[in-house]
Structure 1
Amino acid sequence: MIAGRQEKIRAELEAGTGAAIGMAVDQSGIRTGLRLWFDDLDDRHGPVVEMKPFGMRGYRVTLGFGKFAGEVIRQIQAAGPDDVGLARALVNSIEETVDLDLSGQPRSDWVIDSGAFRITATARGLVADPDEAVTLVSRDIVVPLMAAMAELIGYDVIVEEEAEEAAYEGAILVSTVRRRERNPRNRLLCIRLHGERCQCCGFEPKSFYGEIGGIIEVHHLEALSLLDTPRPYDPATDLVPLCPNCHRAVHTRRPVPFSLEDVRKHMRTSGWKGGSE
């Protein structure tokens, strides 16, 4: 079951973490499991996830560190407050029905204090269909755990800026915002918290396009480049999902984007009657 779902699991992990994923089938026990790690670190120098069936209709997911992961752990411990906040929010987005043990620490305030740090997530009472259960566990537990580690380690996706974004003063700061918006972990958490329904017009691409409709985008309600003084970044409240059209409309005004209500007013003026308030 797990072995046959490897490529789907890998695709979801790479989309959610922004990093290449290595994996291997684990047949060391009575029941077949799966080991996953960041490909460039291998399973000795970074975090490793083990995913195994547990009981009649459950799975146990364990995240730990390889024997030679000291350098990566030090890098994680040096992560900035924004990265730590996003990592904690990703882990905290795992449903309360999942028994989550973070080395005895609370969900909202855990720290990786040594190589002995472990996260153990136990999901029980899953759907009877084995393939569907594997998909649910990988999407709802493994992906946010690995995404949290990717954020702390500092995996980044470099996106080339559109030429028009550099046409005014302050473009360097705007570039930073655009890269943050496209951080795959931001997108993952935003969708886990708010779903894939546009918070401006109410359109849900996947309900219209099916599997190819994973095109929802992530928007900062307050552009980071416009802050007079730094403030704590709360990924749970500072991000909203927008469809590509509404996201583009919001950013047609520069340097201060339109608010969501501004865009809704323009839409109502043109005869639009639906949407998300």
Structure 2
Amino acid sequence: MLSARQTLIREELEAGTGAAIGMTVDGSKSRTGLRIWFADLEERHGPVAELRPYGLKGYVVTLGFGAFAGEVVRRIAGAGSEDVRLARALIASIDNSVEVEVHGQEMADWKITTGDFRMTAIIRNLPRDPEIALTEVSRDTIVPMMAAMAELIGYDIIEEDGHGEPEYEGAELVTTVRRRERNPRNRLLCIRLHGEVCACCGLDPRETYGVAGSIIEVHHLEPLSLLKEPRPYDPARDLAPLCPNCHRAVHSRKPEPWSLEELRELMADPTGKAGVL
């Protein structure tokens, strides 16, 4: 069953983490499983998630590191406080019905300092339909687990920065804080924290467009370029879901975008005659 649905699982993980995913069927134990890793790091050199059936209608996901992942573990151990904060928030966003445990550590302040790190998630009472069940497990549990690792490693969208070719360190893009708004993990976390309803106009795209409604965008409430001094990144207060129209409207004022409150006032009185703004 797992081997026949590798494409489904890979698509969910790549969309959620922003990184290419590798996987292989593992028949070394009594119940066949999948081993999942970041393709450019290879299975032995980075984090590996192992997915196996658990009980009659469940799965267990075990996240650890390959035998030669020392360099990546050292990179993770040196991650900045902002990346650690987002990684922990991603794990905390997993539904309470899933039993998540970091071996030998408290969930509130887990960290990775050695290759012995292990995180386990047990998902029970899934739908009988195997495809629906695996979609839920992939999207709601494996994605945040692997996305947390991607955040700590420093994966990001490869894009031009306006100053020539993108910078590379080995095979990875050097991450800069200015790309935070385009980070695919932000969309994942924003939706988990705030839902998919536009924070300005109240549009629920999925109700309006059905399967074509996955169009909510992530808005950074305080533009990173306008920060007078660095401050801790708080995904709960720094992100808001906006429909494409409201997101474009917010950014129609430059260099400082409209606040959500200002945009709501404009929508209530498009003529501006009330003199609020």
TM-score for both structures, normalised by structure 1: 0.89
1:236 aligned counterpart, secondary structure? helix
- After superposition, the C-alpha distances for 1:190-248 in whole angstroms (9 at most, x for unaligned) are 11111211111111222222333222111111112222221111112210111111011
Match of 1:201 in 2: 201
CA distance in 1, matches of 2:201, 2:8: 31
| Larger deviation, residues 200-209 vs 153-162 | 153-162
- Equivalent positions of 1:149-228 (< 5 A) are 149-160=149-160, 179-228=179-228
- After superposition, the C-alpha distances for 1:77-115 in whole angstroms (9 at most, x for unaligned) are 111111111101001101121111112322221100210
Match of 2:133 in 1: 133
CA distance in 2, matches of 1:130, 1:94: 20
Amino acid corresponding to residue 101 of structure 1 in structure 2: E
Mapped contact 1:158–1:179 kept (Cα < 8 A): no
| Larger deviation, residues 60-69 vs 108-117 | 108-117
Mapped contact 2:48–2:66 kept (Cα < 8 A): yes
1:94 aligned counterpart, secondary structure? coil
Match of 2:60 in 1: 60
Q: CA deviation at 1:36?
A: 0.5
Match of 1:269 in 2: 269
Q: CA deviation at 1:161?
A: 6.2
1:219 aligned counterpart, secondary structure? strand
Measured on the aligned residues, the alpha-carbon RMSD in Å equals: 1.8
CA distance in 2, matches of 1:146, 1:63: 8
Are residues 4 and 212 of structure 1, via their aligned partners in 2, closer, same or farther at CA, if it must alter by over 3 Å? Answer: farther
CA distance in 1, matches of 2:257, 2:77: 35
Are residues 103 and 240 of structure 1, via their aligned partners in 2, closer, same or farther at CA, if it must alter by over 3 Å? Answer: same
- After superposition, the C-alpha distances for 1:52-88 in whole angstroms (9 at most, x for unaligned) are 1101111100000000000000000111111111101
CA distance in 1, matches of 2:51, 2:80: 29
Match of 1:254 in 2: 254
| Larger deviation, residues 105-114 vs 25-34 | 25-34
Total equivalences in the alignment = 259
- After superposition, the C-alpha distances for 1:96-155 in whole angstroms (9 at most, x for unaligned) are 211111123222211002100000001112222222111111111100000000010011
CA distance in 2, matches of 1:192, 1:37: 23
Match of 1:106 in 2: 106
CA distance in 1, matches of 2:257, 2:106: 37
- Equivalent positions of 1:238-249 (< 5 A) are 238-249=238-249
CA distance in 1, matches of 2:68, 2:161: 37
CA distance in 2, matches of 1:106, 1:114: 16
1:116 aligned counterpart, secondary structure? coil
Are residues 139 and 215 of structure 1, via their aligned partners in 2, closer, same or farther at CA, if it must alter by over 3 Å? Answer: same
Mapped contact 1:198–1:242 kept (Cα < 8 A): yes
Mapped contact 1:33–1:50 kept (Cα < 8 A): yes
CA distance in 1, matches of 2:159, 2:218: 15
Identity %: 65
Structure 2: gaps of 5 or more residues: 163-175, 272-277
TM-score for both structures, normalised by structure 2: 0.89
Structure 1: gaps of 5 or more residues: 163-175, 272-277
Match of 1:170 in 2: none
CA distance in 1, matches of 2:91, 2:139: 12
| Larger deviation, residues 199-208 vs 56-65 | 199-208
Mapped contact 2:48–2:65 kept (Cα < 8 A): yes
Are residues 43 and 193 of structure 1, via their aligned partners in 2, closer, same or farther at CA, if it must alter by over 3 Å? Answer: same
